[in-house]
Chains A and B, each alone.
Chain A
C-alpha cells in the first residue's frame, strides 16, 4: 500500500512521461491519446469540485464542456471565414488565439453555471439530478437545431488555434499546454479544498443544517462551487474541441455528463487526483477495448459495477488501501 501523495506523484509522472516517450519514439497517436486523457481529467476535476467536495450530483456538466467547445468553435469559425461574430453595436471578430478562447469559454460556462445553479440548487437529490439533466438536454437540442454553427453535423476547424510562442500543431507541444493547465488547476484545487471556502462547502455537503446554524448560507456556497466547477469544465471543453479540431452537439450529450461522473467514481470519490486516475483508465480502456466496438461499453459497465460494489474508493481506494476519504 502506498500513500495518496505518492500515488498522485506516480500518476502525474506517468501521464507526463508516457507521451514524452511516445514523442522520442515517434508515436504521435499515443501523444494524442494522452492529451485526450489529460483533457477528460481536467473536465472531471472540474465536476469533482461540485460532486466530490460539494456533493452535487450533476448530470448536466456536459453543458459547460459543450459551451467551452462551442466558444472555441464559434470564435475559430468566424476567424477562419473572416466573418465578424457581430457587427452591431460594435464589431467583434473571431479569433484563433487560445488564451482569448479560453477566457471566453471560462466566462460563458461560468455564467451558464450561475444561472443553472440559481434554478437547480433549490432542489436536492434526485430532483437536482433531473433538473441538471434537463438543462443538458436543452443545450443539446439547441446545438442540434442551430444551423449557423453546423447544427447536427457540428463545426470543423481546419487549423488548430495558436498559442503565442508555441507550435500547437505539434502534438507534444499541445499536450504540454494541456498538461500544464491540468497541473495548475489541480494545484488550485488542492488549495481550494484546504481554504475556508473548501471547509465550508465540505461541511455543507455533510450537514446543511449545521452550516446554516453557524450563520453561513449553503445555497450560496454551492452556487459558487457550481460556477467554479463549470468554468473548469468549460476550459476543458475548449481544449477538447481544439484537440479534435471539431465541435459537435455530442459534447452537450447526457452521455458526456455521465462519463464525467464515471471518471470520478472509477478514480475514487472525494480525492483531488481521483478524476485524473479515472479519466486515464477510461481512455486506456477505451483504446485497448475499442477494437471490440460497442461491447466496450458493456465491459466499462461491468467494471463500474465491480468498483461500486466491491471497491467504493475506486482506483485510489484499491491502491492506497483506504476505502474512502
Chain B
C-alpha cells in the first residue's frame, strides 16, 4: 500500500461538555477521493477546521506527507500543502475573479511584500492564476467582480484558488452545496480531473456525488467514525443505514 498523504489520528475536540469529535482517525492515499459523510452536526465541519487549522484539537495528531502539522498555524498548513475550499464562500467579493486567483498565486509564492509594482503586471503570477482559471473554465470571467458571479461560478473559483496553491492535498468543504444539477455535474467532472493532481478529502452532503467520485467513504456520526470503507461497504453497512434513517442509500 502506498504511504498515505494525509493521516489523521485520534483527533478529538470538545466544546465544554459537548464532544464534537471523538477519536477520529482517517487517512488519504495518493490519487484517491476520500469522502467524509454524516448527518448534520456529525462533526464534519469541526473536523475540517481541525485539519486546516481554524480549531485547535484537544487530542490526536495530523500528519501531512509524514510531517506532524498538529500544532502548525493555518498559514503554515497552507504553505505545507493543504489547499482548501470553504463551505460558505469566502472569496474577496469586491475583487475581480482574476484578483482572487492572483491572491492564491501570491500566497503560493509567498510574495506579498512588494509595495510598488502592479501585481497584475507580474507575468509569472498572472500566468499561474490564469492557468488555474482556465482549469475551472472561468477564464472568460477573469475581469468580472466576484460578487457578481453565480453561485456555481463562485464554487469553481474556490477550487481555482485552491489550485493556484499547487497543494499536496485538496480539502473540499461541501463544494456542491446549493448547486443546480448542471452545476453539480460540471464540478463533479472537474473534481474527477483534480484527483490526478492531488488526492481529495471531500466533505459532501450530496450522496450521488459521493458515490460517483469517492474511492473510500468515512461516515461520521456524533463525532465518531462509525464506518470506513469502499462505496459498496458503506452502502451495505447496517449501522450507516441506521444513522441515515429514512435516507435511501
Q: Chain A residues in contact with chain B, CB under 8 A?
A: 188, 191-192, 194-200, 202-203, 206-207, 209-217, 221, 224, 228, 325
Known: A209-B86, A221-B112. A214 touches B107 (CB 8 A): yes
Can you show 25 pairs from A to B with CB atoms below 8 A apart? A188-B116, A191-B117, A192-B116, A194-B118, A195-B117, A195-B119, A199-B95, A199-B106, A200-B106, A200-B112, A203-B92, A203-B99, A203-B103, A209-B54, A209-B74, A212-B74, A212-B75, A213-B52, A213-B86, A214-B104, A215-B78, A215-B110, A215-B165, A216-B106, A217-B75
CB pair B79 A215 closer than 8 Å: yes
Cβ contacts B60-86/A at 8 Å (1 or 0 each): 000000000000011110110000101
Most buried by A among B92, B125, B164: B92
The answer for the CA separation of A209 and B164 in the assembled complex, in Å, is 16
CB pair B122 A196 closer than 8 Å: yes
Q: Chain B residues in contact with chain A, CB under 8 A?
A: 52-54, 73-76, 78-79, 84, 86, 90-95, 99-100, 102-104, 106-108, 110-120, 122, 125, 161, 164-165
Known: A195-B114, A199-B102, A209-B54. A214 touches B119 (CB 8 A): no
CB pair A206 B75 closer than 8 Å: no
15 more A-B residue pairs beyond the given contacts A196-B112, A198-B115, with a C-beta to C-beta distance below 8 A = A191-B115, A197-B113, A200-B103, A203-B95, A203-B100, A206-B95, A207-B92, A209-B54, A209-B86, A210-B161, A212-B73, A214-B104, A214-B161, A224-B113, A325-B94
CB pair B114 A216 closer than 8 Å: no
Contact residues in B for A224 (Cβ distance below 8 Å): 113
Contact residues in A for B52 (Cβ distance below 8 Å): 213
Contact residues in B for A199 (Cβ distance below 8 Å): 95, 99, 102-103, 106, 112, 119
CB pair A214 B108 closer than 8 Å: yes
Interface residue from A197, A212, A215, A216 paired with B115 (Cβ < 8 Å): A197
The answer for the CA separation of A207 and B157 in the assembled complex, in Å, is 15
CB pair B94 A194 closer than 8 Å: no
A159 to chain B, nearest CB (A): 36
Those 3 A-B pairs whose CB atoms lie nearest each other, nearest first: A214-B107, A215-B78, A200-B112
Residue of A nearest to B84 (CB): A213
Residue of B nearest to A209 (CB): B90
The answer for the CA separation of A72 and B9 in the assembled complex, in Å, is 61
Residue of A nearest to B79 (CB): A215
The answer for the CA separation of A203 and B116 in the assembled complex, in Å, is 17
Residue of B nearest to A205 (CB): B92
The answer for the CA separation of A198 and B76 in the assembled complex, in Å, is 21
